Structures are given as structure tokens and as C-alpha cells.
Homo-oligomer: A and B are copies of this chain.
Amino acid sequence: MSNKVAVYRKEHFNAAHRLYNSQWSDEQNAAVFGKCSLPNYHGHNYEVEVRVTGEIDEATGFVMDMKKLSDLLQEKVLVKFDHKNLNLDTEEFRSLNPTAENIVIVIYNLLRPHIETSLDLFIRLYETPRNFVEYPVFIK
């Protein structure tokens, strides 16, 4: 068995959003998204778990320094989304509907270029303690 280990770091950000498809009428948005589509936004305490998987470095005993993983999340993700309105304040969600599914892929794409290519990356995003998503799906 290889000595691959998965390392997680969890952070949070607070943001406003609404679910909205700009190509639909307001009636259609209300019918599909319900109160999640109300025009003046609502918000969440998002929790984001980042998993990095790879071989342990023998000198450090680390797959990746969790402190550096935390700093990376801060610099590449939280600085963009924390205390922001996802629909109005971010280029990523100007035309993309900020569902949890779309947010988790955006976070993955923001982090992926900054993690060594030998390491796998996976994200779990909590919109609430009872609603959450994961990306990518490695099996099924």
C-alpha cells in the first residue's frame, strides 16, 4: 500500500446570494427557486473543506503544510467571497447562478492552479449544516 494520505483544512466565509437565471422570467425564477430567489438576497455562513491527497514528504512528515493550505484558501478564495454579495461583487457569479454546486466548482478552479500537480484536490462546501456539496466526484 502506498503512503498516500488525504489532508483537510476547513475555513469559512459569510456571503449574500440569490438563485437566479437571467434568461428566465421572474415568475419562472420564483417557481423553480422559491424563496432562494427573493430579489434582495439572503446569505449563509459557508464552510469550505479542502482535501489535498498525496505522498508524505519524509523530511517534514507532511503531504502539504496545513498552514499553507489555510493561507492559500485565504488568498485565492476567502478574499474574493468573504463578506461579499456573490451575485453583485464577484466576476465568477455575474452570469453564473451561485448554487452550492456552481460555487464548489468555482472554488476548485480557483485553487487547482496553486496546488502541485502531483497532489489531488477535492472540495466539500457547506451552505448550511444540512445542505452541502462535493467536487470532483472521483467514483460515483
Contact = CB atoms under 8 A, between A and B. Distances in A.
Contact of A60 (B14, B21, B41, B45): B21
A133 B21 contact: no
Interface in A23-70: 24, 32-36, 38, 40-45, 51, 53, 56, 59-63, 65-67
B9 A67 contact: no
Main secondary structure of the interface of A (DSSP, over half): mixed
- In the complex, which range does the number of interface residues on chain A fall in? 35 or more
Interface of A: 1-12, 14-17, 19, 21, 24, 32-36, 38, 40-45, 51, 53, 56, 59-63, 65-67, 82-85, 88-89, 96-102, 104-105, 120, 128-140
